C-alpha cells in the first residue's frame, strides 16, 4: 500500500449518496495539492468584505495600520516611478498625467489627512476612501474643467491604493489548528499561516505546480485547491474534513464521516511508522540499480527532516525563500550563516544551492519591477546578471560557506550559454577577491544548471561542456514547453509533466549529460510523483530530489522496481505521441477536472 491508496474519494461518493443526514453536509471536489487528511475548524478569508468606509480598528492596532498605509503608499510610488521611466521618452502627455498622479499620491496634505483619520481609529482602507471622496467632491464642484478631470484620476489612484492595501491586509493571527479557506494564497501567506499554526489550506483557485502548493507540501500541510465557491459555502468555524489525497473537502461532515476519516488518519500514521524502517536502507531497485534520493529545501527545517528521512543530500536549496522569510535581500553575512548551516547539517552529503530565482510567482514584493507577464520576464539568472551587486554578494556568501567542500552552485532559468559564461566570469572575480582577502573557500566548487526551459534542454550538449551537472526542473520545463502557466488553474489540464514533449526534452538532456559524463537529476515535482518513478529510472535518471516528506515513499517505490523493466517502459513511452498514450501506459488516470459540488439533501 502506498500513501496515495489512502484516497477516500470513492468512500465519500458512496457514503454521501446513501446517508440521510440533516441536509447540510456538503462534499466539495477540488484538486489535491498537498497530501494528508485533516479534521478541523474553518477560518474563511473574504477579501471583498474588507473595504468598509467606516470600518473601525482597535486602538492598539493604530500603529500597525499607519505602517500598512505607509508601505502601500511607497509600493505604489515605486510602481508609478517605474511606469513613468518607461513611458517618459516616448509619450510626453502620458508622462505628464503620471507625474500628476505621483504628486497626488505623495501629496503631504492628503497623506496627513489619511493618517489623521487612521489615528482616529479607522482602518487604512476606510481612511483612504474617506479622504479621496472628500478630494473628489472638491474637484468635481469646481468650475475649472482641468481640475474636474482630476476627479477621475483621483478615483483611479484610490482604487490602486486599495488594491495594494488589500493584498497586504490578510490577517495572519488565526486560531491555532485552523483550516484556512481563501480565494487564493501567495507563498508569503503560506509561510505566515504556517507560523500561526494553520493545519490545512483550501483555495478556490490555484495550481499544484505553483510555489504556494510546493510550500504547502514542503511544510507537510494538507491542501486542496480549485474548490469552487469555497469562501461562499464554508463559514467561519464550520467543521471541515480536508482530504489532500483525493482533493475532497467535506463541509459540516456528519458523524459517520468524522469517524471514518479519524480511522483513516490512524491508518496513515501506522503506514508512516512502517515506512520509517526504510530510513537506513538503500534506494536500490530489486535488480541492484542504486538511485540517489535527495531532498528539496525551502527552509532550514527541511534539511533536518530530509536527513531524518535518510536523504542522500540536498538536491535543491530554493535560496529565494530566505528573501521571502526576511522580506528583503539579505546581507552577505546573513546569507553565509544560512548556507553554512545547511552545509553543516547535511555534511558529508552534497548540497546544491540554487542562486536566487526571484520573479514569477515567487518573491517579488518590494522589488522595483512590475511586469505584465513575469514568468516570461525578468526572472532567475536574468535578474541576477542585471544586478551584479546582488549576485556577487550571493556568490561570495556561497563560496565562503563552501569550506566543507559539499556545496554546489545551481543556476536557475538558464536559456543561453552566455548566461553560464557570464556567471563563471563573475564567480572567478569573487574567487580572486576572496584570495586577496585570504578567505578560504572550495576552489573546485561545482557549478550546474537547472534545465527548465526548452532552450536549455535543446542546447544541453553545449551547456554540458560548460558545467559540472544538470538538474531538471520539470515544473518550469512543463510550463515553458507547453506554454501553460504553472499557477493558472484554467490551463491546469494542459500543464502536464507527462506530456511527450516534456519527456522527450528530459531524454535529450539525459543523453547530453551522459555524452559528457556529468550527473543529471530531476528536482521538479515530477520527481516525487507516484507514477513517474519507473519512467524516470528507465529514462536514465539516477538522482531524484523531492520534498522531505515523500523521501520514504519514493524509496519504497524504488525498492519495488526492476530497472530492466523500467528501461522497457521508458522506451515504449518515448514512442507515444500523445499524453493520453503516456498516461494509459503508466496506468495513470486521465485528468478529470470536473468539480463535483454535491449538496447532500
| Interface region with ligand PEP, contact rule CB under 6 A, candidates 184-192, 278-286, 469-477, 535-543 | 469-477
Query: Do 117 and 99 contact (CB within 8 A), yes or no?
Result: no
What span, in angstroms and rounded, lies between the C-alpha atoms of 434 and 560?
A: 48
> Which residues make Cβ contacts (< 8 Å) with residue 517, sequence separation at least 6?
none
What span, in angstroms and rounded, lies between the C-alpha atoms of 422 and 473?
A: 21
Pairing of strands 351-354, 314-318: parallel
Binding to ligand PEP by CB under 6 A, coded x per residue (else -) over 448-467, reads ----x---------------
Residue 538 sits in the site that holds Mg ion (CB under 5 A): no
The residue among 189 and 476 lying less far from ligand PEP, judged by its C-beta, is 476
| Interface region with Mg ion, contact rule CB under 5 A, candidates 45-53, 185-193, 398-406, 444-452 | 444-452
Of 117, 121, 119, 123, residue with least CA distance to 49: 123
| Interface region with Mg ion, contact rule CB under 5 A, candidates 302-310, 324-332, 445-453, 544-552 | 445-453
The residue among 330 and 524 lying less far from Mg ion, judged by its C-beta, is 524
Residue 295 sits in the site that holds ligand PEP (CB under 6 A): no
Can you list the pairs that 7-13 forms with residues at least 24 positions away whose Cβ atoms lie under 8 Å? 7/32, 7/243, 7/245, 7/246, 8/37, 8/243, 8/245, 8/246, 8/248, 8/260, 8/261, 8/264, 9/243, 9/246, 9/247, 9/248, 11/260, 12/243, 12/246, 12/248, 12/250, 12/257
Strand partners, 408: 352
Q: Considering CB distances under 5 to 8 angstroms, the limit depending on partner class, which of ligand PEP, Mg ion, none binds residue 523?
A: ligand PEP
Q: Considering CB distances under 5 to 8 angstroms, the limit depending on partner class, which of Mg ion, ligand PEP, none binds residue 310?
A: none
* Cβ density class 404-419: b for 16+ within 10 Å, e for less: eebbbbbbbbbbbbeb
The residue among 423 and 474 lying less far from ligand PEP, judged by its C-beta, is 474
For the segment 214-233, give every residue that binds ligand PEP (CB under 6 A): 214
- Which secondary-structure segment (H or E) carries 37? strand 37-44
Find where cell 483513516 sits: 264
| Interface region with Mg ion, contact rule CB under 5 A, candidates 63-71, 420-428, 472-480, 566-574 | 472-480
* Burial class of 176 by CB neighbour count within 10 A (0 to 12, 13 to 18, 19+): exposed
Q: Considering CB distances under 5 to 8 angstroms, the limit depending on partner class, which of ligand PEP, Mg ion, none binds residue 170?
A: none
Q: How far is the CB of 211 from ligand PEP (least distance, A)?
A: 6
Query: Do 132 and 61 contact (CB within 8 A), yes or no?
Result: no
Residue 475 sits in the site that holds ligand PEP (CB under 6 A): yes
- What is the CB neighbour count within 10 angstroms for residue 596? 14
Nearest 5 degrees, angle CA 511-CA 515-CA 521? 55
Dihedral pair phi/psi, residue 224, rounded to 5°? -125, 130
The residue among 503 and 523 lying less far from ligand PEP, judged by its C-beta, is 523
Among positions 65, 320, 361, 476, the unique one binding Mg ion when judged by CB under 5 A: 476
Among positions 243, 452, 489, 553, the unique one binding Mg ion when judged by CB under 5 A: 452
Find where cell 517502459 sits: 569
Among positions 131, 476, 543, 600, the unique one binding ligand PEP when judged by CB under 6 A: 476
Residue 65 sits in the site that holds Mg ion (CB under 5 A): no
Instruction: Measure Cα distances from 316 to 31, 271, 553, 562 in Å.
Output: 26, 27, 19, 27
> Which residues make Cβ contacts (< 8 Å) with residue 140, sequence separation at least 6?
148, 151
Note if 499 is an active site residue. no
The residue among 182 and 523 lying less far from ligand PEP, judged by its C-beta, is 523
Among positions 30, 36, 473, 519, the unique one binding Mg ion when judged by CB under 5 A: 473
Residue nearest to Mg ion (CB): 476
The residue among 448 and 538 lying less far from Mg ion, judged by its C-beta, is 448
- Written as one string, the DSSP assignment of 558-572 is HHT--HHHHHHHHHH
Query: Do 260 and 13 contact (CB within 8 A), yes or no?
Result: no
For the segment 354-383, give every residue that binds ligand PEP (CB under 6 A): 357
What span, in angstroms and rounded, lies between the C-alpha atoms of 242 and 199?
A: 10
Residue 302 sits in the site that holds ligand PEP (CB under 6 A): no
The residue among 150 and 318 lying less far from ligand PEP, judged by its C-beta, is 318
Binding to ligand PEP by CB under 6 A, coded x per residue (else -) over 320-359, reads -------------------------------------x--
Query: C-alpha grid cell for residue 390?
Result: 546582488
The residue among 208 and 459 lying less far from ligand PEP, judged by its C-beta, is 208
The residue among 135 and 210 lying less far from Mg ion, judged by its C-beta, is 210
Nearest 5 degrees, angle CA 383-CA 415-CA 215? 60
From 211, 271, 499, 529, the catalytic residue: 211
Q: How far is the CB of 450 from ligand PEP (least distance, A)?
A: 7
| Interface region with ligand PEP, contact rule CB under 6 A, candidates 58-66, 77-85, 462-470, 474-482 | 474-482
Note if 418 is an active site residue. no
Residue 523 sits in the site that holds ligand PEP (CB under 6 A): yes
Query: Do 317 and 591 contact (CB within 8 A), yes or no?
Result: no
Among positions 271, 318, 400, 555, the unique one binding ligand PEP when judged by CB under 6 A: 318
Residue 474 sits in the site that holds ligand PEP (CB under 6 A): yes
From 169, 231, 523, 576, the catalytic residue: 523
- Number of chain positions touching ligand PEP (CB under 6 A): 11
Residue 473 sits in the site that holds ligand PEP (CB under 6 A): yes
Instruction: Measure Cα distances from 333 to 258, 298, 489 in Å.
Output: 50, 19, 40
Q: Which residues bind ligand PEP (CB under 6 A)?
A: 214, 316, 318, 357, 452, 473-476, 523-524
The residues carrying an active-site annotation are 211, 523
Interface residues with Mg ion (CB under 5 A) are: 452, 473, 476
Amino acid at each position: 500500500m502506498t500513501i496515495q491508496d489512502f484516497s477516500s474519494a470513492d468512500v465519500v461518493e458512496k457514503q454521501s449518496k446513501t446517508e440521510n443526514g440533516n441536509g447540510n453536509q456538503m462534499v466539495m471536489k477540488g484538486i489535491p495539492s498537498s497530501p494528508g487528511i485533516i479534521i478541523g475548524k474553518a477560518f474563511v478569508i473574504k477579501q471583498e468584505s474588507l473595504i468598509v468606509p467606516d470600518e473601525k480598528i482597535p486602538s492598539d492596532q493604530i500603529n500597525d495600520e499607519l505602517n500598512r498605509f505607509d508601505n502601500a503608499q511607497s509600493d505604489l510610488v515605486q510602481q508609478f516611478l517605474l511606469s513613468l521611466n518607461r513611458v517618459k521618452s516616448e509619450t510626453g502627455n502620458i508622462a505628464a498625467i503620471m507625474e500628476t498622479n505621483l504628486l497626488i499620491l505623495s501629496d503631504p496634505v492628503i497623506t496627513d489627512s489619511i493618517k489623521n483619520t487612521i489615528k482616529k481609529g479607522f482602518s487604512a482602507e476606510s481612511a483612504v476612501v474617506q479622504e479621496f471622496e472628500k478630494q473628489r467632491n472638491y474637484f468635481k464642484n469646481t468650475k475649472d474643467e482641468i481640475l474636474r478631470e482630476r476627479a477621475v484620476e483621483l478615483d483611479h489612484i484610490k482604487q490602486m491604493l486599495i488594491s495594494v492595501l488589500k493584498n497586504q491586509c490578510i490577517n495572519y493571527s488565526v486560531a491555532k489548528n485552523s483550516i484556512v479557506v481563501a480565494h487564493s494564497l501567495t507563498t508569503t501567506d503560506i509561510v505566515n499561516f504556517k507560523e500561526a499554526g494553520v493545519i490545512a489550506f483550501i483555495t478556490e483557485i490555484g495550481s499544484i505546480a505553483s510555489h504556494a502548493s510546493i510550500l504547502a507540501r514542503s511544510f507537510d500541510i494538507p491542501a486542496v485547491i480549485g474548490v469552487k465557491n469555497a469562501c461562499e459555502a464554508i463559514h467561519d468555524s464550520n467543521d471541515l474534513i480536508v482530504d489532500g489525497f483525493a482533493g475532497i473537502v467535506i463541509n459540516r461532515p456528519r458523524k459517520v464521516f468524522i469517524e471514518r476519516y479519524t480511522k483513516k488518519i490512524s491508518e496513515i500514521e501506522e503506514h508512516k511508522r512502517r515506512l520509517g524502517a526504510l530510513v537506513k536502507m538503500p534506494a536500490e531497485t530489486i535488480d541492484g540499480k542504486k538511485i540517489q534520493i535527495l531532498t528539496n529545501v525551502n527552509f532550514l527545517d527541511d534539511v533536518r527532516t530530509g536527513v531524518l528521512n535518510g536523504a542522500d543530500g540536498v538536491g535543491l536549496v530554493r535560496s529565494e525563500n530566505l528573501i521571502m522569510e526576511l522580506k528583503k535581500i539579505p546581507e552577505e553575512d546573513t546569507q553565509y550563516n544560512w548556507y553554512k548551516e545547511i552545509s553543516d547539517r547535511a555534511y558529508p552529503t552534497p548540497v546544491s544551492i540554487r542562486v536566487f530565482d526571484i520573479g514569477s510567482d515567487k518573491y517579488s514584493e518590494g522589488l522595483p519591477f512590475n511586469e505584465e507577464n513575469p514568468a516570461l520576464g525578468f526572472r532567475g539568472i536574468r535578474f541576477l546578471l542585471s544586478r551584479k551587486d546582488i549576485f556577487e554578494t550571493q556568490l561570495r556568501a556561497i563560496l565562503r560557506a563552501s569550506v566543507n567542500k559539499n556545496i554546489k552552485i545551481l543556476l536557475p532559468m538558464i536559456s543561453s550559454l552566455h548566461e553560464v559564461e557570464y556567471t563563471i566570469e563573475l564567480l572567478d572575480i569573487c574567487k580572486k577577491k576572496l584570495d586577496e582577502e585570504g578567505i578560504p573557500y572550495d576552489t573546485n566548487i561545482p557549478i550546474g544548471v537547472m534545465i527548465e526551459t526548452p532552450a536549455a534542454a535543446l542546447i544541453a550538449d553545449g551547456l554540458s561542456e560548460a558545467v559540472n551537472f544538470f538538474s531538471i526542473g520539470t515544473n518550469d520545463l512543463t510550463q515553458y514547453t507547453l506554454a501553460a502557466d504553472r499557477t493558472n488553474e484554467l490551463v491546469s489540464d494542459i500543464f502536464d509533466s507527462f506530456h511527450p514533449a516534456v519527456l522527450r526534452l528530459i531524454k535529450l538532456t539525459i543523453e547530453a549529460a551522459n555524452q559528457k559524463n556529468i550527473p543529471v537529476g530531476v528536482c521538479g515535482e515530477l520527481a516525487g510523483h507516484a507514477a513517474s518513478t519507473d519512467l524516470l529510472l528507465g529514462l536514465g535518471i539516477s538522482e531524484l530530489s523531492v520534498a522531505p516528506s515523500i523521501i520514504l515513499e519514493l524509496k519504497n517505490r524504488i525498492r519495488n522496481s526492476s530497472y530492466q523493466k523500467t528501461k522497457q517502459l521508458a522506451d515504449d513511452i518515448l514512442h507515444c505521441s500523445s499524453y493520453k498514450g503516456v498516461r494509459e501506459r503508466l496506468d495513470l488516470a486521465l485528468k478529470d477536472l470536473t468539480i463535483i459540488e454535491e449538496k447532500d439533501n
